[in-house]
């Protein structure tokens, strides 16, 4: 059993997005966080101070821990942003404005 | 015809907001329901994204029939033109002026484009968010809030790993553990810090809500069916891993709430879903100048705040679950409908909801006592444990501000250490900082409910807002 089977989901065809250039499959309706979790990835940001890895914490847009760069826009909350075919996700280092 | 109706803005489309919307619309009010999610439902009835094509979303939910009633009622009123539902609207401020109120929102998910709604009255049904108390390793990827694990599962049908531990305290842990187990995650343990003797001591108060006890029994049966080991009066003392979670150490508590030495055991897991209760979202109420009692918005018997024209219902007025939110929302909607017509409301019209409200508030006050975090939880925060996740402020730095520099409240600690000054504005660390100081938890004052681009702020209120089409 997996969550898609439990809810008897019939999503549209999967599409490809990239994480730091590497191709990842995503489903229509998935957020950035959901697609990354499904691909087995749980961290995509390093903190400004200690450079520690972070990913989803609150899952509802309150904690800002899951920040990520999507199509060159930094500081996006991965748990809120839905994916579209061809989206380029980049892991965010520090403030996301360092280049 | 609808243009002559008084206009109510409801902030939040969870159980409280929906119940209020339906009650007000049925009694002659035009309602604009403003919500941040793409679908109505709030956190409790959070729906899978439509594109995922879930044919059995009820598998992830409880009280599905109630949801169907709310959803169908909303749809009917939308078709009749009495309710407008604005999705993906993230409200950052409700402004009061002589002609009524302006609700300022940002359009999601980017939250850079503004939108405004004018209304004669406002209902704040802003819900709550989860409180998590820190412990070593709680910032590791794979550690998520219990509600977060549930939200990701309900909305996106995704889970963060294969083996989970669900820990902390509170009734929310039960549906989170059973939900993850049903979705195919191996739940290695449910770790609840509450003392079983507290349930026995309060059994009379609990038995006043037999439906709630039956709900608890159903969860217990599901946990047994999924072979989930339940460790009562235990806590997670540490999460282990280098770049992601690999295991947790769990230990028993003694009668005084201290960790019992020598009881620690390691449980391998890639996911820890942890929560220590809920906190009300009060930012919009505070922005309007509403009275706050402790951490919740103060309301009277009609769910009115002390600011004329502003009502509040649901978790924002105190944590009590979906059924209480429905009752409060209904009462608020009826009160608003009467008051906006200049009529004194007749409370006997909502006597059933008022009775449910009284009983459920009493029940949740009892649950609050049972599910209080262990007395000495702050002992788990070592000096190198990160407490403020955004600004990476450690327990040691906060203790130094308190004992070395004399800080006695959250605001002074924030100014000295930056704890609470980051992206989340202290929502994640506020409870922990208060605990480390030893001061009572209060609702932090934030001028805006979410980050606002400077350009939006500069232009806000410059042009008259068009009324939302109803």
- In tens, the pLDDT along B320-379 reads 999 999 999 999 999 999 999 999 999 999 999 999 999 999 999 999 999 999 989 999
Residue B244: list chain A partners with CB under 8 A: 42-43, 53
CA–CA distance, B246 with B395 (Å, rounded to integer): 23
Chain B CA closest to residue A3:
B183
Contact: B158, A38; criterion CB under 8 Å: yes
Which residue out of B88, B155, B430 would a mutagenesis test of the A interface target, given it has the greatest number of A Cβ atoms within 10 Å?
A: B155
- Spell out the residues 6+ positions from residue A92 whose beta carbon is closer than 8 angstroms to its own: A44, A45, A46, A67, A68, A69, A74, A75
CA–CA distance, A58 with A75 (Å, rounded to integer): 16
Q: Which residue has the tokens 């429905």?
A: B326
Contact: B160, A37; criterion CB under 8 Å: yes
Chain A CA closest to residue B272:
A57
Contact: A7, B149; criterion CB under 8 Å: no
Contact: A7, B57; criterion CB under 8 Å: yes
In this prediction, does ipTM exceed 0.90?
Answer: yes
Tell which residue, B447, B125, B173, has the closest CA to residue B318. Answer: B125
Mean pLDDT across chain B, nearest whole number? 94
CATH number of A28's domain:
3.10.20.440
What the block records as the tokens of B186 is 């191996």
- pLDDT for the residue B108: 84
* pLDDT confidence tier of residue A92, bands split at 50, 70 and 90: confident
Contact: B152, A7; criterion CB under 8 Å: no
Closest Cα of chain A to B311: distance in Å? 24
CB of A14 within 8 Å of any CB in chain B? no
When CB atoms are compared, the residue of B53, B108, B144 closest to A56 is B144
Closest Cα of chain A to B463: distance in Å? 28
Within a domain: residue A43?
A: yes
CB of A46 within 8 Å of any CB in chain B? no
Chain B CA closest to residue A30:
B156
Name the B residues in 137-196 with CB < 8 Å from any A CB. Answer: 139-145, 147-153, 155-161, 182-184
Residue B469 has pLDDT above 60, yes or no: no
CA–CA distance, B441 with B445 (Å, rounded to integer): 12
Provide the number of structural domains found in chain A. 1
Span B132-276 CATH architecture: 3-Layer(bba) Sandwich (3.50)
- b (16+ CB within 10 A) / e for B227-247: ebebbebbbbbbbbbeebbbb
Within a domain: residue A98?
A: no
- pLDDT for the residue B409: 92
Mean pLDDT across chain A, nearest whole number? 94
Q: How far apart are the first and last CA of chain B?
A: 11
CB of A48 within 8 Å of any CB in chain B? yes
- Domain residues for the domain of A62 are 18-93
8 Å CB contact between B32 and B104: no
Contact: A59, B49; criterion CB under 8 Å: no
Q: What mean pLDDT is predicted for residues B433-449? A: 89
Residue A64: list chain B partners with CB under 8 A: 390, 422-424
CB of A63 within 8 Å of any CB in chain B? yes
- In tens, the pLDDT along B62-94 reads 889 999 999 999 999 999 999 999 999 999 999
> How many CB pairs below 8 Å do chains A and B form together?
172
Beta strands in B137-262 (DSSP E): 143-145, 163-168, 186-192, 230-232, 234-240, 247-252
CA–CA distance, B96 with B461 (Å, rounded to integer): 11
CB of A3 within 8 Å of any CB in chain B? yes
Q: What CATH fold (topology level) applies to the domain B381-462?
A: Arc Repressor Mutant, subunit A (1.10.10)
Residue B468 has pLDDT above 80, yes or no: no
Contact: B51, A10; criterion CB under 8 Å: no
When CB atoms are compared, the residue of A4, A58, A81 closest to B129 is A58
When CB atoms are compared, the residue of A55, A59, A64 closest to B141 is A55
Q: Which residue has the tokens 């989803």?
A: A56
Closest Cα of chain B to A89: distance in Å? 15
* pLDDT confidence tier of residue B464, bands split at 50, 70 and 90: low
8 Å CB contact between B83 and B74: yes
- In tens, the pLDDT along B378-391 reads 999 999 999 999 99
Contact: A1, B50; criterion CB under 8 Å: no
**Looking at the domain that runs over B2-129+279-345, which CATH code has it been given?**
3.50.50.60
Residue A99 has pLDDT above 50, yes or no: no
CB of B252 within 8 Å of any CB in chain A? no
Distance, CA of B209 to chain centre: 22
Residue B391: list chain A partners with CB under 8 A: 49
Least confident range of A66-75, A89-98, B96-105 = A89-98
Beta strands in B148-243 (DSSP E): 163-168, 186-192, 230-232, 234-240
What the block records as the tokens of B351 is 């006597």
- pLDDT for the residue B444: 81
CB of A62 within 8 Å of any CB in chain B? yes
Residue B296 has pLDDT above 80, yes or no: yes
* pLDDT confidence tier of residue B443, bands split at 50, 70 and 90: confident
Orientation of helix B146-156 relative to helix B173-182, angle to 10°? 40
CB of A94 within 8 Å of any CB in chain B? no
- pLDDT for the residue B441: 85
Contact: B141, A54; criterion CB under 8 Å: yes
Q: What mean pLDDT is predicted for residues B210-236? A: 94
Burial of residue B445, with CB atoms counted within 10 A of its CB: 0-12 exposed, 13-18 middle, 19 or more buried: exposed
* pLDDT confidence tier of residue B451, bands split at 50, 70 and 90: confident
CA–CA distance, B11 with B29 (Å, rounded to integer): 15
Closest Cα of chain B to A72: distance in Å? 13
Residue B445 has pLDDT above 90, yes or no: no
Contact: B55, A73; criterion CB under 8 Å: no
CA–CA distance, B216 with B214 (Å, rounded to integer): 5
Within a domain: residue A10?
A: no
Within a domain: residue A48?
A: yes
Residues of chain B with CATH 1.10.10.1100: 381-462
Chain B CA closest to residue A39:
B160
- In tens, the pLDDT along B121-162 reads 999 999 999 999 999 999 999 999 999 999 999 999 999 999
């Amino acid at each position: 059993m997996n969550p898609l089977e439990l809810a008897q989901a019939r999503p549209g065809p999967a599409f490809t997005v990239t994480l730091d250039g590497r191709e990842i499959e995503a489903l229509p309706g998935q957020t950035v966080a959901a697609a990354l979790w499904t691909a087995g990835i749980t961290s995509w940001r390093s903190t400004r101070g200690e450079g520690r890895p972070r990913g989803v914490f609150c899952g509802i847009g309150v904690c800002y821990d899951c920040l990520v760069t999507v199509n060159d826009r930094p500081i996006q909350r991965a748990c809120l942003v839905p994916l579209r075919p061809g989206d380029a996700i980049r892991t965010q280092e520090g403030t996301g404005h360092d280049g | 015809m609808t243009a002559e109706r008084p206009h109510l803005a409801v902030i939040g489309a969870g159980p409280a907001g929906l119940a209020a919307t339906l009650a007000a619309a049925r009694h002659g009010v035009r309602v604009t329901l403003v919500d941040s999610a793409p679908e109505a439902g709030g956190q409790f009835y959070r729906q899978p994204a439509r594109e995922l094509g879930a044919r059995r979303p009820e598998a992830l939910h409880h009280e599905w029939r109630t949801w169907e009633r709310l959803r169908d009622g909303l749809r009917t009123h939308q078709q009749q033109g009495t309710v407008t539902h604005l999705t993906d609207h993230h409200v950052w401020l409700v402004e009061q002026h002589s002609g009524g109120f302006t609700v300022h929102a940002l359009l999601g998910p980017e939250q850079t484009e503004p939108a405004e709604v004018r209304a004669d009255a406002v209902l704040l049904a802003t819900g709550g968010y989860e409180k998590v108390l820190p412990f070593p390793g709680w910032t590791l990827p794979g550690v998520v809030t219990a509600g977060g694990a549930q939200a990701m599962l309900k909305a996106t049908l995704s889970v963060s790993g294969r083996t989970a531990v669900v820990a902390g305290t509170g009734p929310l842990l039960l549906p989170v553990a059973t939900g993850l187990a049903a979705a195919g995650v191996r739940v290695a343990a449910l770790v609840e810090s509450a003392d079983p003797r507290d349930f026995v001591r309060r059994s009379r108060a609990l038995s006043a809500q037999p439906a709630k006890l039956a709900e608890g029994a159903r969860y217990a049966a599901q946990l047994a069916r999924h072979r989930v080991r339940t460790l009562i009066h235990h806590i997670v003392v540490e999460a282990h891993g280098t770049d992601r979670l690999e295991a947790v150490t769990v230990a028993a508590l003694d009668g005084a709430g201290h960790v019992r030495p020598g009881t620690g055991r390691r449980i391998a897991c890639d996911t820890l879903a942890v929560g220590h209760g809920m906190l009300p979202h009060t930012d919009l109420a505070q922005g309007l100048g509403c009275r706050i009692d402790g951490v919740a918005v103060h309301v009277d018997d009609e769910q009115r705040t002390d600011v004329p024209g502003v009502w509040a219902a649901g978790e924002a007025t105190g944590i009590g679950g979906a059924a209480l939110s429905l009752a409060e929302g209904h009462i608020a909607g009826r009160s608003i409908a009467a008051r906006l017509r200049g009529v004194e409301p007749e409370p006997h019209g909502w006597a059933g909801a008022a009775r449910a409200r009284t009983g459920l508030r009493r029940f949740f006050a009892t649950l609050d006592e049972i599910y209080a975090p262990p007395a000495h939880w702050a002992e788990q925060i070592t000096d190198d444990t990160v407490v403020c996740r955004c600004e990476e402020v450690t327990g040691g730095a906060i203790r130094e501000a308190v004992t070395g520099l004399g800080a006695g409240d959250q605001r002074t600690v924030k100014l000295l250490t930056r704890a609470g000054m980051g992206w989340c504005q202290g929502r994640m660390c506020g409870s922990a900082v208060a605990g480390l100081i030893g001061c009572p938890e209060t609702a932090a004052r934030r001028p805006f409910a979410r980050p606002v681009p400077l350009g939006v702020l500069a232009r806000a209120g410059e042009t008259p807002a068009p009324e939302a089409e109803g």
